[in-house]
A and B are shown apart, each in its own frame.
Chain A
Amino acid sequence: GQQVMQIPQYQHVQEGEDFTTYCNSSTTLSNIQWYKQRPGGHPVFLIQLVKSGEVKKQKRLTFQFGEAKKNSSLHITATQTTDVGTYFCAGPEYGGSQGNLIFGKGTKLSVKP
């Protein structure tokens, strides 16, 4: 079945270092969404990418959607302790008309001050 894979599973960085998580889908996606879950919290929507090759920025966060619309990345510049959490990508279920999302397993980011 359809799979959305994320790497790495865990990433430990020193505060101020950059961080990147990668998302790969087994199928072409109409769009991709990114969510952040703080420790002990719930996922919160960050952004949605729709166009092939699209790049969007939110302050220190840069999101990219691949040309083939099968992969995406999230890059954080100069991490801060507030960036700690698990980052999930999610894409629509292939062939589905129900609006369901398939979530990756997430990348857990820890930041050492």
Chain B
Amino acid sequence: DGGITQSPKYLFRKEGQNVTLSCEQNLNHDAMYWYRQDPGQGLRLIYYSQIVNDFQKGDIAEGYSVSREKKESFPLTVTSAQKNPTAFYLCASSPLAGASYNEQFFGPGTRLTVL
């Protein structure tokens, strides 16, 4: 069954701790994306990757880091430098790198709460 999985669905962390959010896809998609969603703010791009071992900063990359060691996986680390990390995080993928006509497929999301 093809798709994008994100784990966990809910995550609680204490302030000052780094936390890594998982994103895995078995769709054989080239491109992967991380978005942050806050109420009334739509989707804001954190990082994206068009190919293994390469990734680029999006609009709000500060306080976040990513890796793309495998085509299927694109984990996001929320570091202690992120000033307001509590949010809903969405991972997405699309079939072809660099093609603007691709639809994006989203995972179920991880809701992170920092206490």
A residues sitting closer than 8 Å to B (CB atoms) are 9, 30-31, 33, 41-45, 48, 50, 88, 92-93, 96-101, 103-106
> Known: A99-B50, A105-B41, A106-B42. Is A45-B100 also a contact (CB below 8 A)?
no
With contacts defined as CB atoms under 8 Å apart, how many contacts are there between chain A and chain B in the complex?
59
A50 to B101, CA, bound (A): 9
Q: Cβ of B98: which chain A residues have Cβ within 8 Å of it?
A: 97-99
Verify if B99 is at the interface (C-beta below 8 Å from A): yes
We find that the number of chain B residues with CB closer than 8 angstroms to chain A is 28
The reply to whether B108 and A42 form a contact with Cβ atoms under 8 Å apart is: yes
The reply to whether B106 and A99 form a contact with Cβ atoms under 8 Å apart is: no
Stretch from B11-19, B64-72, B77-85, B89-97 forming part of the interface with A: B89-97
Verify if B102 is at the interface (C-beta below 8 Å from A): yes
B residues sitting closer than 8 Å to A (CB atoms) are 31, 33, 40-43, 45, 48, 50, 56, 58, 90, 92, 94, 96-109
> What's the nearest-Cβ distance from chain A to residue B28, in Å?
16
A99 to B89, CA, bound (A): 20
A35 to B111, CA, bound (A): 20
A31 to B108, CA, bound (A): 25
A100 to B100, CA, bound (A): 7
The 6 closest A-B pairs by CB, nearest first: A92-B100, A105-B42, A45-B103, A42-B106, A103-B43, A103-B42
Q: Cβ of A44: which chain B residues have Cβ within 8 Å of it?
A: 106
> Known: A9-B40, A45-B103, A92-B100. Is A99-B31 also a contact (CB below 8 A)?
yes
Q: Cβ of B104: which chain A residues have Cβ within 8 Å of it?
A: 33, 43, 45, 101
List 22 A–B pairs whose Cβ atoms lie within 8 Å, in order of A's numbering: A9-B40, A31-B101, A42-B106, A42-B107, A42-B108, A43-B90, A43-B92, A45-B105, A50-B101, A88-B42, A96-B100, A98-B97, A98-B98, A99-B31, A99-B98, A99-B99, A100-B58, A101-B100, A101-B104, A103-B43, A104-B42, A106-B42
